[in-house]
Structure 1
Amino acid sequence: MRIIGKNIPDNKCIYISLTYIYGIGKSLSLKICNKLNIYLYKKVCDLDENEINLIRKELSNYIIEGELIRNNSFNIKKLIDIGTYRGFRHKKKLPCRGQRTRTNSKTCKKKKNKIF
């Protein structure tokens, strides 16, 4: 079944299936199901059209999928452009939240886009 341009599995519970959408975790999916009075363990294939339309309408109120990815990348680009320390760390592809880099963060230090 497609909701907001994303395929979600039919054979799983609705609150688990909603987590397949980027930007929706378990807590937000539980909140959505409780707000719409939809039984959490109801399978997606058992939903009727009215419930599906209610879910689509509720999801349109949140920033999800491509718009969320675009916002995140724009925020990182803004940090790089204004020259902050976090922007510098993002540009160098290093951890920017205070983690040590002498012994850890080996994967961050590896060259990105290696050609074999």
Structure 2
Amino acid sequence: MVRIAGVDLPRDKRIEIGLTYIYGIGLTRSHKILAATSVDPNIRVKDLNDGDITALRSEIESNYQIEGDLRRWEAMNIKRLVDIGTYRGRRHRMGLPVRGQRTRTNARTRRGRRQTVAGKKKAPGK
């Protein structure tokens, strides 16, 4: 089992895909890391030798902000926006889309499930 930055990488996937299981590493960054450490991107995670694992681990930990540090950094940025009262900060606080998307329809991910509204009561007749 290969463990990098506190994440267990899936054994049967290629290493270029396996690295994307680490928060903060996508496919592009994975390719850059593999090129810097000269590890074959087509090799499976279970077939890595100890030298490759240590090279990957040292490259990632020394040059990239990942996992807990990155989550903390993003949370601090959002908290800063909320604290100074920007438009984006208010949208974060209210749980609405932040980047200008429409909310009349769609936006279910941010707003949650639909809630039905009870029918309007009629005024009593005279």
Q: Same fold (TM over 0.5)?
A: yes
Q: How far, CA to CA, are the matches of 1:4 and 1:110 in structure 2? A: 33
Residue 23 of structure 1 aligns to a residue in which SS? Answer: coil
Aligned match of 2:105 in 103, 106, 110?
103
> Does 2:5 correspond to 1:4?
yes
Q: Which residue of 2 aligns with 1:73?
A: 75
Q: Which residue of 2 aligns with 1:58?
A: 59
Residue 88 of structure 2 aligns to a residue in which SS? Answer: helix
- Residue identity opposite 2:21 in structure 1: Y
Consecutive unaligned residues of structure 2, counting only runs of 5 or more, are 114-126
Q: How many residues align?
A: 111
Consecutive unaligned residues of structure 1, counting only runs of 5 or more, are 112-116
Residue 40 of structure 2 aligns to a residue in which SS? Answer: coil
Q: Which residue of 1 aligns with 2:20?
A: 19
Q: Quick check: 101-110 or 28-37, which moved more?
A: 101-110
Q: Which residue of 1 aligns with 2:46?
A: 45
Q: How far, CA to CA, are the matches of 2:104 and 2:48 in structure 1? A: 52
Q: Which residue of 2 aligns with 1:82?
A: 84
**Percent of paired sites with the same residue:** 50
Q: 1:98: how far off? A: 0.8
Q: How far, CA to CA, are the matches of 1:59 and 1:107 in structure 2? A: 32
Residue 100 of structure 1 aligns to a residue in which SS? Answer: coil
- Residue identity opposite 2:91 in structure 1: R
Query: Does the C-alpha gap of structure 1 residues 76 and 56 become closer, same or farther in structure 2, counting only changes over 3 Å?
Result: same
User: Deviation digits for residues 15-67 of structure 1, max 9, x if unmatched?
Assistant: 11101111101111011111111111111121111111110111112010111
Larger Rg: 2
Query: Does the C-alpha gap of structure 1 residues 107 and 44 become closer, same or farther in structure 2, counting only changes over 3 Å?
Result: closer
Q: How far, CA to CA, are the matches of 1:57 and 1:105 in structure 2? A: 40
Q: How far, CA to CA, are the matches of 1:7 and 1:52 in structure 2? A: 12
Residue 94 of structure 1 aligns to a residue in which SS? Answer: coil
RMSD: 1.3
Give structure 1 regions of 4+ aligned residues with deviation exceeding 2 angstroms: 106-111
> Does 2:54 correspond to 1:30?
no
